[in-house]
Amino acid sequence: MKKKTVILSLAGATVVLGGFGLFGYEYSMLGQRFQALETEAFQLQEENASLNQQLDGKSSELKENISKVEEQEKYIAGQKDYVSELTQQIQEYAAKLPKDETDEESGETEDTDDMDPYGETEQDPYPDLYAQEHGSGISENQKYVYLTFDDGPSELTPQVLDLLDEYGAKATFFVVCKNNEEYAEYLPEIVKRGHTLALHSYSHDYHTIYRSLDAFLEDYEKVFDWVKKETGYTPSLFRFPGGSNNGSSYVRKEIIQEMERRGFVYYDWNVSSGDGSNLTTTENIIDNICSNIGYVENPVVLMHDGTGKQATLNALPSVLKYLAEEGYEFRSLDKTLQPVQF
Ligand SMILES: [Zn+2]
């Protein structure tokens, strides 16, 4: 009986020990597995960090590229404006050349010559037989200059307004609504200080607005609504981005006809400050205005107060001083004047 108990006890102990052994083995296996998983997790963490780093690098590279592209686009837009200004200047100079010289160069014959026997070159037997010019408010003894600022409002607008005030000068602002909504508070300020608030474009994107009459109106309505909402004022003057000779001539004619039917008057310019190009310096701007102003009657001067046009702002004090000394009165444009159109 005693022997049996001993045998049974020994067998039990063996089972228990065996169980412990097995459990120990399992436990160490689990430990190893856990370690392996820990190493794997650590590796994955490291990989993740390096991927994140790469991603950060790529995204900042992408941002840099986007801002470069934006800069390029701005620059191209500026150059396009400048080219269109130059085209206009060339046309003006060509118009100043003696008639037969331009005919020779262009190979065109002006049929209207025959219908204009008492033109500038002929002695006019009826020197006083001329209708009153549109805009009778202009007195012969007074010299008026019409400064115009495109592409604002921007951070420069309040400084432009203060400089104009120093000379009691009135001007015209052709505004856009293109990433400059934060400067909307300057719109009522323009009106309050007695300037003309006029429209330029919503997007200022030539490809969009000159695609069709409808595309133009859709864009124009947006800036029109914006200005009305911010000021309560209904603008009636506008300026085509790049001037009225921009875009295809067919669409252009259609747009002009429809805009005039709606009562809007467009203004181009006859003196350019050349500041459409971002390469134009303050000195260039002063020179472009001051040396050309004397060639035209009632000069309408193209300038810009959009973001980045610091050179124009820097030129403005000298321009105002020079023109005031030359006896010009600074006026804003309105619907009663004979508009300057290309
Ligand atoms: Zn413009």
81 CA to centre of ligand 1 in angstroms: 7
Q: Tell which residue, 287, 277, 276, has the closest CA to residue 315.
A: 287
Report cis status (omega within 30 of 0) of the bond before 317: no
Please give the distance, rounded to the nearest whole angstrom, from the Cα atom of residue 324 to the centre of ligand 1: 26
CA of 150 to the centre of ligand 1 (A): 5
How far does the centroid of ligand 1 lie from the alpha carbon of residue 327, in Å? 29
Q: Furthest-apart CA pair in the chain: how many Å?
A: 160
Amino acid 163: pLDDT: 98
> What is the residue-level pLDDT of the chain in tens, covering all 342 positions?
566 666 666 666 665 566 566 666 676 777 777 777 777 777 777 777 777 777 877 777 777 877 777 777 776 666 777 766 666 666 666 666 655 444 444 444 444 445 555 655 567 777 777 665 555 455 566 899 999 999 999 999 999 999 999 999 999 999 999 999 999 999 999 999 999 999 999 999 999 999 999 999 999 999 999 999 999 999 999 999 999 998 788 899 999 999 999 999 999 999 999 999 989 999 999 999 999 999 999 999 999 999 999 999 999 999 999 999 999 999 999 999 999 999
Ligand 1 center to 246 CA (angstroms): 11
Q: Alpha carbon of 94 to those of 82, 98, 99, 102: distances in Å?
A: 18, 8, 9, 7
pLDDT of residue 2: 61
Q: Which of 316, 322, 17 lies closest to 171 in space, CA to CA?
A: 316
**Ligand 1 geometric centre to CA of 239 (Å):** 8
Quick one: which of 208, 128, 135, 142 has its CA closest to 176? 208
How far, in Å, is the centroid of ligand 1 from the Cα of 82?
10
175 alpha carbon – ligand 1 mean position (Å): 8
> How many angstroms does the Cα of residue 304 sit away from the middle of ligand 1?
7
Q: What is the pTM of this model?
A: 0.64
- Ion ligand 1: residues, CB within 5 A, are 150-151, 241
Q: How far is the CA of 333 from the centre of ligand 1 (A)?
A: 17
Q: Please give the Cα distance from 176 to 32 (Å, whole number).
A: 70
Distance from Cα 147 to the centre of ligand 1, integer Å:
15
Q: How far is the CA of 127 from the centre of ligand 1 (A)?
A: 41
* Centre of ligand 1 from the C-alpha of residue 151, in Å: 5
Span from the CA of 107 to the centroid of ligand 1 (angstroms): 33
How far is CA 18 from each of CA 4, 15, 149, 271, rounded to the nearest angstrom?
Answer: 21, 5, 96, 105
How much is the pLDDT for 94? 66
Whether 238 and 227 have beta carbons less than 8 Å apart is answered as no
Question: How far from each other are the two terminal CA atoms of the chain, in whole angstroms?
Answer: 129
Spacing, Cα 201 to ligand 1 middle (Å): 8
φ, ψ of residue 244 to 5 degrees: the values are: -70, -10
Report how far residue 77's alpha carbon sits from residue 90's, in angstroms, rounded to the nearest whole number: 20
Nearest to 81 by CA among 239, 238, 260: 239
pLDDT for 6: 62
**220 C-alpha to ligand 1 centroid (Å):** 13
In whole angstroms, give the CA distance from residue 207 to residue 215.
10
Q: Is 215 exposed, middle or buried (0-12, 13-18, 19+ CB in 10 A)?
A: middle
For residue 147, what are the β-bridge partners?
301
Measured in Å, residue 149 CA sits from the centre of ligand 1 at: 9
Give the span between the Cα atoms of 262 and 236, in whole angstroms.
9
- Residue 113: what pLDDT? 46
